[in-house]
Amino acid sequence: MIDPLRITFDVACAPDRAFELWTAHTSMWWPKSHTVSARADLEVVIEPCVGGRIYERTADGEEHDWGQVTGWNPPSSISYIWHLRQDRADASEVEITFAADESGGSRVSIEHRGWDALGARGAGQRELNQRGWTHLLPHFQAAAR
């Protein structure tokens, strides 16, 4: 069994704002280098409902699917299948929770799992995603100030 990635960190805004930044203002902090097109004019869209698409859309209408929302519980959690730059059949699962902390900010917890379903490629995909989160999360933390 390949262990899930578990990441926990704090941000300086309340859970409702952190959830909103993650889900409705993703383009504000998501680095273009972590997209399919890498275009400066792209928008990252998370449709706000179970079954909603997660995708990037460029100004000229080009779209690339990244995943699909499987759980929508504002402002406390979102979960989704994730297949950025992968075939949908190779999707992993992400669950993110946003909880108030004693300082008025939020504790954000991420569990990224489902590596076993990828067979022999699972461990490598887990490592790739670990590096991806390491690069991505400082952008979110900076936006959540």
**Full set of structural domains in the chain with CATH:** 5-143 (3.30.530.20)
The pLDDT value recorded for residue 85 is 84
The per-residue DSSP string of 18-46 comes to HHHHHHTSHHHHS-GGGSSS--TT-EEEE
Residue 14: is its pLDDT beyond 90? Answer: yes
> Exposed/middle/buried for 96, CB within 10 Å: 0-12, 13-18, 19+?
buried
Average pLDDT value for residue range 19-37: 96
Return the SS3 of 89. Answer: helix
| Cα dihedral 91→95→96→99 (10° resolution) | 180
114 — pLDDT class (breaks 50, 70, 90): very high
- Name the pTM for this structure: 0.94
Out of 82-86, 91-95, 124-128, pick the least confident: 82-86
The pLDDT value recorded for residue 21 is 98
86 — pLDDT class (breaks 50, 70, 90): confident
Residue 84: is its pLDDT beyond 90? Answer: no
Q: For residue 130, give both structure tokens.
A: 């670990």
The pLDDT value recorded for residue 87 is 86
